[in-house]
Amino acid sequence: MGMSRSFLLCLLGAVLCLTGTQTCSSSESQALQCFNFEHTYYGPFDLSGKTLPTASCPSHCFEAVSSVSTGYRSSVTLVKKGCWSGAPSGQMEVNHNSLPPDFSVVRGCSSDLCNVDILSHDSLPNLSPAPDPPLLSGTECYACVGTSPEDCTANKSRRVQCHLDESVCFRGNGRMTIANTSVPVYIRTCHRPSCTIEGTTSPWTDIDLQGTCCRGNLCNGDSVIEPFEAAAASPRALPSVAQLLLASLLVGALGGSLGLS
């Protein structure tokens, strides 16, 4: 008539699991398998024939791509796939008029191995469209992009004829970031006279570039990094007159209390 002790324990465990007062082992079985991969490419990429590593993820998978281009058929692209704790869908913000041209997209999903849509350079728009009509400005500039200063030395740069609305030369550097992965970017290319730099930014990606423009053929052959290195720590500010006066008063008061003349 009586129930066995083991049966009662099983029944109690089931009740606790249903009421949420005990962590159930089934939650572990709900973990997703996601592709887990990151790489920086110079030029077009294609993952369709590769066997990508995987990882067990607690909630969502994601995949993202960010790319910076000279606008003259040279680019550097960061591809990242893995676990995701953000919103289940991504966000893209791109300014089609930005120079240097760039692009970012993030995609979240929540089924096993679902982060497989970004597989090749076809996932990106054409960042080097030919001008229409195909007219040139008459300015010639160095063009290159890479992740180290050595990738973008003047002797490794191409000489390009600038498109009609790009009559100055640009050189600069910055960073391209997806989630917790960041790579440096060094670039030379043509630019518009306004020299406005607008990188793509979203809640999970950031393309941040800085640099200067110059006028004259091939004028952007100087150092691509010296003027644009991240600023060093700001020097400690000098004390203000009010701070000096207050310090003087405190020293005087302390001297008086100690009987110093």
pLDDT at 247 (0 to 100): 39
Distances, alpha carbon 150 to alpha carbons 176, 177, 187, 230, in Å:
18, 21, 11, 18
| CATH code for position 147 | 2.10.60.10
Q: What is the pLDDT of residues 2-33, one digit of tens each?
A: 444 444 344 434 433 444 444 444 444 578 99
Question: For the chain, how many structural domains are there in total?
Answer: 1
The rounded distance, in Å, linking the Cα atoms of 70 and 141 is 11
pLDDT at 204 (0 to 100): 83
Alpha carbon of residue 205 to chain centroid = 5
The rounded distance, in Å, linking the Cα atoms of 68 and 207 is 8
pLDDT at 251 (0 to 100): 36
Residue type, 50: K
Q: Which of 77, 65, 68 is nearest to 170 (CA)?
A: 68
pLDDT at 87 (0 to 100): 63
Q: Which of 165, 169, 186 is nearest to 221 (CA)?
A: 169
Indicate whether 248 belongs to any domain. no
| Beta-strand relationship, 158-163 and 136-146 | antiparallel
Q: What is the pLDDT of residues 104-120, one digit of tens each?
A: 888 889 899 999 999 99
Indicate whether 98 belongs to any domain. yes
Q: Could you say which residues of the chain have pLDDT below 50? A: 1-28, 226-261
pLDDT at 249 (0 to 100): 40
The rounded distance, in Å, linking the Cα atoms of 66 and 76 is 9
Specify the length of the chain in residues. 261
The rounded distance, in Å, linking the Cα atoms of 53 and 81 is 10
227 Rama class: left (phi>0) / alpha (psi -120 to 50) / beta: alpha
Indicate whether 200 belongs to any domain. yes
- What is the torsional sign of CA 121, 171, 132, 206? positive
- Segments forming the whole domain that contains residue 197: 29-123+133-228
Indicate whether 82 belongs to any domain. yes
51 Rama class: left (phi>0) / alpha (psi -120 to 50) / beta: beta
DSSP element (H, E) containing 144: strand 136-146
Indicate whether 142 belongs to any domain. yes
Indicate whether 19 belongs to any domain. no
Indicate whether 48 belongs to any domain. yes
Indicate whether 233 belongs to any domain. no
DSSP type of residue 152: G
From the number of C-beta atoms within 10 Å of its C-beta (0-12, 13-18, 19+), residue 119 rates as middle
